[in-house]
Amino acid sequence: MFDFRFYEIWREPEYIDRLLHGCLVSIELSTAGGILGMILGLVLVSAQGKSSPKLLSGFAQGYIETVRNTPFIVQLFFVAFGLPQLLHYRWSFEASALLAMTLNFSAYFAEVVRAGISSIPTGQIEAAGSLCLTKRQIFLDIVLPQALCNVYPSLTSQFVFLFLTTGLISEIGVEDLTWAGRFVADRNFRDFEVFIVLTVLYVAIVFGYKAIFNALNRYAFPWRSIR
């Protein structure tokens, strides 16, 4: 009854090529999206600072809530099909995917970091203030590094969660891992085996990410391990 035919996947060198290429595209885009999202997220965090104008912080808050309360796929389709029409300018599907992932991750990043910032004890800020540091210096030198350290675990799991949804970018024609899988399944009709392989590949990539995050953790927050 269980007639697994995984060899239908490795039989064709083209299938393997497509899958490997798909892995690379998925990894590249999510990594780039994660990094750009982090940068945009930091901008959003500082836009919500106590001293920033009401309008700006309101806009940042609205943006974060909008992104967090709508599905990624809707955001993706809007960026890929709506925006180019609206702006009368076309860009590649990869660019759309990257933009959507950046916008999406930035909101989650900002939300998590903001929570981390509010958890920093006031004693830290008072001590820094009594040492004559300016507000900006207190934020950059004292609050932000500690906040990032505290929320690092939830940031990385948030990133992994988002990575697991990136298969959706195949829907707009980006040749990522999911796209490659569907390409193969459409030709050898072994959907079940193909998606099992795909799942294993996704899980393997997640393991890779987690290993990198652990190494980064030790490098970026050397004070954590000894507390």
Distance between CA atoms of residues 148 and 218, nearest Å: 13
Residue 101 token pair:
């992932």
Return the structure tokens found at 184.
């193969």
Q: Rule CB under 8 A: is residue 226 a binding residue for another protein? A: yes
Question: Quick one: 31 or 165, whose CB is closer to another protein?
Answer: 165
Distance of CA 204 to the CA centre of its chain: 17
Q: Which two tokens stand for residue 168?
A: 């959706």
Q: What number of other Cβ atoms are within 10 A of residue 142's Cβ?
A: 18
Closest separation between CB of residue 210 and another protein, Å? Answer: 11
Task: With beta carbons less than 8 A apart as the criterion, state whether 206 and 160 touch.
Answer: yes
Give the residue, chosen from 20, 43, 56, 140, that forms a contact with another protein under the rule CB under 8 A: 140
Q: Which is nearer to another protein, 56 or 220 (CB)?
A: 220
Among 24, 43, 56, 74, binds another protein (CB under 8 A): 74
- Could you give the CA distance from residue 80 to residue 75 in angstroms, rounded to a whole number? 8
With CB under 8 A as the contact rule, the residue among 9, 128, 155, 180 that binds another protein is 128
- Is the CB of residue 71 less than 8 Å from the CB of residue 166? no
Greatest alpha-carbon pair distance for the chain in Å reads 75
The yes or no reply on residue 132 touching another protein (CB under 8 A) is yes
User: CA dihedral in degrees (205, 210, 215, 219; nearest 10)?
Assistant: 120
Q: Residue 36 Cβ, how far from another protein at the closest point, in Å? A: 20
Q: Which of 189, 211, 214, 218 binds another protein (CB under 8 A)?
A: 189
Contacts with another protein: how many residues (CB under 8 A)? 64
* Contact region with another protein (CB under 8 A), list: 16-24, 34-42, 95-103, 144-152: 144-152
Q: Kindly list the residues in this chain that would bind another protein in the complex (CB under 8 A).
A: 65-66, 68-75, 77-78, 81-83, 85-86, 121, 123-124, 126-134, 136-137, 140-142, 145-146, 149, 164-165, 167-168, 171, 178, 181, 185, 189-196, 198-199, 202-203, 206, 220-223, 226-227
